[in-house]
Amino acid sequence: MNIYIVRHGQTDWNVEGRLAGAKDIPINEKGIEQANIIKEELKNIKFDKVYSSPLIRAYETAKIIHKGKIIKDDRLRERSNGDFDGMLKTEIKEQIDINDPEEKRFNIEGINDFRKRVNSFFDEITKDKKSKNILVVTHAGVGIFARCYFEGEPLNNDYGLYKINNCEILNYQLNTSNELLLNINKVHTTKMGINRIKKNLYIDEDAVGYCKSIITNKKCNITRKGKNYYCELDNIRITVNANNYCIITAHII
């Protein structure tokens, strides 16, 4: 299964630095242009299912990319910033920490509740054994927790590192058992299969791609840091996160 996650095209509020949240703001001319670029990039992929946030900026983007059926799913909505939606980020900076997990005042959707609904969506679609390619069009906040779901927590819990740009694509490749995952975002990756075996990772296929070397039938110990497991082997960084997905990132040489 290939899961493609796309953030909506640019809006005027993105340019102005306003919190859009649950507000229904359309994409602007640049956003339309961005969506058409993504349409061209993905034109050779036959999507079995396409999901979108019901908010217009995401749904408009999805309609440009894909001309077939689009399933709206409320779990893909952006997090609501409550009374602060529509305000400039600079205006609220001194008033409240919008990223405080405990903050629910001013009708703000709690981060933990937000994350639960995002996880619920991905729990569901990863069980879809019939679909080969799935497209998900959504928002920056959903993208952050989608990356957490597949990749584990960001370095030093800096979630800003996981924010994706307008019409940026995330692509995760899972096998039919959901045991494997190729994280092919932003950098070249090896195309290999790996299994998690207790304290070891066993590479059971040749690694090909932009790697320092080709590796076959090797074992390597992994170390645990927090909820995640890490391994460095011949310039290949392997991560097994709490959901037991495997992320393989090959360093470009």
Mean pLDDT by 10 residues, the chain (253 residues): 94 97 97 95 95 98 97 98 95 88 94 97 94 97 93 84 92 66 39 29 32 34 49 48 44 30
The pair of structure tokens assigned to 83 is 């009374």
pLDDT at 171: 87
Catalytic residues: 8, 78
Nearest to 135 by CA among 68, 55, 232, 214: 68
Query: Given this model, what pLDDT does residue 47 score?
Result: 97
pLDDT at 225: 52
Sorted by where each starts, the structural domains of the chain and their CATH numbers stand as: 2-174 (3.40.50.1240), 188-250 (no CATH)
Start-to-end C-alpha separation, the chain: 28
Question: Helices 111-125 and 140-151: crossing angle, nearest 10°?
Answer: 60
